[in-house]
Amino acid sequence: KIRPWRRCIEFTLNSQEYKYAWVRDLRLLGIYIGVWIKLDLVPHLKNVQSSIIPVGVLGKVGNKGGVAVRFEMFNSDFCFVTCHLAAGQSQTEKRNLDFKTIASNLVFDQDDSLQLTIFDHKNVFWFGDLNYRIDLSRNEILYFLDKGQYE
């Protein structure tokens, strides 16, 4: 069964000049990742895998966590990761811990003895709802930006 999101994305992508092929999509509750490539690249696509890791309540609930898709193409490897981290100004430590947990514990099984982690890949694209906040007012932010003070 094709999911509604996938159908909508494919319709939009393939209404353009280039045509795209679905590689893989994966969901962990509200965290979704979908990967498509240009149709003419499909013959070069190898070893597609996906993985999930929940880091929500008690490290088990999937309201927070990460999902990833990896593959190889043209003698290189690619890993796409999206995540949803803890919200709130007071949760920076928890966000940092969740990032580290996802980065080190989300794995792709290669065989009985080998597992790849996210950072075993040459090309990593990490995105998502990271929930980091700048604890300044809009005017303060604009002031520092104007002065070139980014620290």
Average pLDDT over the chain, rounded to an integer: 86
Helix (H) or strand (E) holding 144: helix 138-146
pLDDT tens by residue, 29-58 = 888 888 999 999 999 999 999 898 888 766
pLDDT tens by residue, 104-134 = 888 887 676 678 889 989 999 999 988 887 8
Pairing of strands 45-54, 20-28: unpaired
